[in-house]
Amino acid sequence: MKRRIPLTITLVLGIVLMIQFFIPHQFSQDFKNTALEWLRVIGSFAFIIGLASFVTHHATKIRHKKEGWAYSPIALGALVIMAVIGIIGRAPNMSWLPVTVHGQQIPVFTYLFANFYNYMMVPLGATMFSVLAFYIASAAYRSFRAKSLVSILLLIAAFIIMLSIIFYNVLPLGDLGEWLLSVPNMAAKRGILLGASLGGIATSLKIILGIERGYIGGTK
Query: Amino acid identity of 114?
Result: A
Would you give the DSSP letter of residue 68? Answer: T
Residue 51's pLDDT is 92
Q: What does the alpha-carbon distance between residue 179 and residue 164 come to, in Å, rounded to a whole number?
A: 11
Mean pLDDT by 10 residues, the chain (220 residues): 82 88 87 89 88 93 91 92 83 66 77 87 88 79 74 81 74 75 90 94 90 70
Residue 189's pLDDT is 92
Residue 72's pLDDT is 93
**C-beta separation of 145 from 158 below 8 A:** no
Please tell me whether the overall predicted TM-score, pTM, comes out greater than 0.75 for this model.
no
Residue 155's pLDDT is 80
- Residue 99, classed as helix, strand or coil, is strand
